[in-house]
A = this chain, B = another copy of it.
Amino acid sequence: MTNATTTSTTRVRPEDERAFIELAFKTVGVDEGHARDIADVLLASDIRGIESHGIARLRWFYVDRIRLGTINRTPDYKVVRETPTSFLLDADNGLGHPPSILAMKKAIELARENGIAFAAVRNSNHYGIAGYYAMMALEHDMIGMSSTNSIHFAIPTFGRAKMQGTNPFAYAVPAGEEPPFVFDFATTTVTYGKLEIYERKGLKLKPGWAVAEDGNPTDDPTKARFGGALLPLGGFGTDNGGHKGYGLGALSEILCGVLSGGAFGLELSKEEGPRVEGGITSHFFGAMRVDALRDLADFKRDMDRELRDFKNSAKAPGCDRIYVAGEIEHEKTLEYRRDGIPLVDKVWEDIDALAGEIGIPPLRRFTAG
């Protein structure tokens, strides 16, 4: 439910992180409103404990690509199609977050008027955590969803070529007194970042995580990273349902890439890196009014009971708690708002270097009092 493996105690205050990200983007020529959008999404990731998708990516995934010109710093969005329940935006190879916020807002607005709506963005780039966009629906008492495709990291069942990304889906469902159900998951067993962490720590991969270049399962993170590939959720072959993770990943690529008229298939079989071709990522969004089917108060009361039924059910040996989706992230948010967000040394080094390069003040350390 979280990728956090934090050990560092050097923390940052959320408002400082937000201001730093915003300033970094403005400094390299990104529109102020867009810079604010991106800061919001990256901060949401860090504050939820999903450290892989937050400020850790600021330099490598975003600012470097803006500076290299692989991402268009001044995109000219185009509305490709719009109906009372649908919206398609071409993001002109700009950063992925601002057009995604725009598209999800549009989906919410159309759903408010018509009950349910969907939207897609094509010709875009990494949009951060899928959960951010799904969660935008919550304050409108709607169920939200989002998915994104990406360049390919994972093999299909019975294959050995990388044919799909980590292609996450996220769903957010409002509750009453309980935190909302926020379910944001990659359709691969683990993400690429996990291979890097295991390699750094000299650990062996678990079965079901990755294959080597020859297409056979491997527990060696280096072999998996160089020439190898991730496995879909469910692992190798079909014994543990690997075809289900493969199907989910393919569904994401279809909804995001094919349905939007964006890139898909072999067009996404590229190696990740700052010079990877921009504009080949696409996203999908949906929003649905709860009260199109049920009275809101009844629904929220029942959601509370549903979530509590899970949490109060009997625990497995050695386990003292059962979580529902989004609960760990919710608790991280409360903690990090109070105590600051811990960032690992490598991230501090990276953003300090970035600050120096683009000539902005370094991000301030925060020590809880």
- With A183-B247, A244-B185, A247-B185 as given contacts, are A116 and B161 in contact (CB-CB < 8 Å)? no
A260 within 8 A of B: yes
A155 contacts which chain B residues (CB < 8 A)? Answer: 316
Task: Tell which of B85, B183, B248, B258 touches A299, judged by Cβ atoms closer than 8 Å.
Answer: B258
CB-based contact A293/B206 at 8 Å: no
| Distance, CA A258 to CA B317, complexed state (A) | 29
Q: How many whole Å from A150's CB to the nearest CB in chain B?
A: 15
- Would you give the shortest CB distance from A29 to chain B, in whole angstroms? 31
B115 touches A85 (CB 8 A): yes
Q: Encode contact with B along A180-197: 1 for CB under 8 Å, 0 otherwise.
A: 010101000110000000
In the bound assembly, the distance between CA atoms of A84 and B214 in angstroms comes to 53
Interface pair A315/B254, CB less than 8 Å apart: no
- Which residues 53-88 in A have Cβ within 8 Å of B in the complex? 81, 83-86, 88
A238 close to chain B: CB less than 8 A:
yes
Q: Is A305 engaged at the interface, CB distance under 8 Å to the other chain?
A: yes
How many copies the complex holds: the figure is 2
| Contact residues in B for A238 (Cβ distance below 8 Å) | 1
A346 close to B (CB within 8 Å): no
Contact with B along A202-235 (1 / 0, CB 8 A): 0000111101001110000000000000000111
Q: How far is the CB of A191 from chain B (nearest CB, A)?
A: 11
| Bound complex: CA A259 to CA B290 (Å) | 7
Chain B residue at smallest Cβ distance from A215: B316
Contacts of A247 in B (CB 8 A): 183, 185, 325
* Interface segment out of the listed A93-101, A261-269, A360-368: A261-269
Q: Do the beta carbons of A306 and B264 come within 8 Å of each other?
A: yes
User: Which listed residue (B216, B235, B253) contacts A306, Cβ 8 A?
Assistant: B253
Residues of B within 8 A of A234 (CB): 189, 233-234, 241
How far does the alpha carbon of A103 sit from the alpha carbon of B265 in the complex, in Å? 34
* Smallest Cβ-Cβ distance to A155: which chain B residue: B316
Contact residues in B for A288 (Cβ distance below 8 Å)? 118
Interface membership of A33, Cβ < 8 A: no
**Can you give 9 A-B contacts (C-beta < 8 A)?**
A86-B289, A88-B294, A116-B117, A157-B322, A158-B316, A173-B254, A250-B324, A260-B293, A266-B309
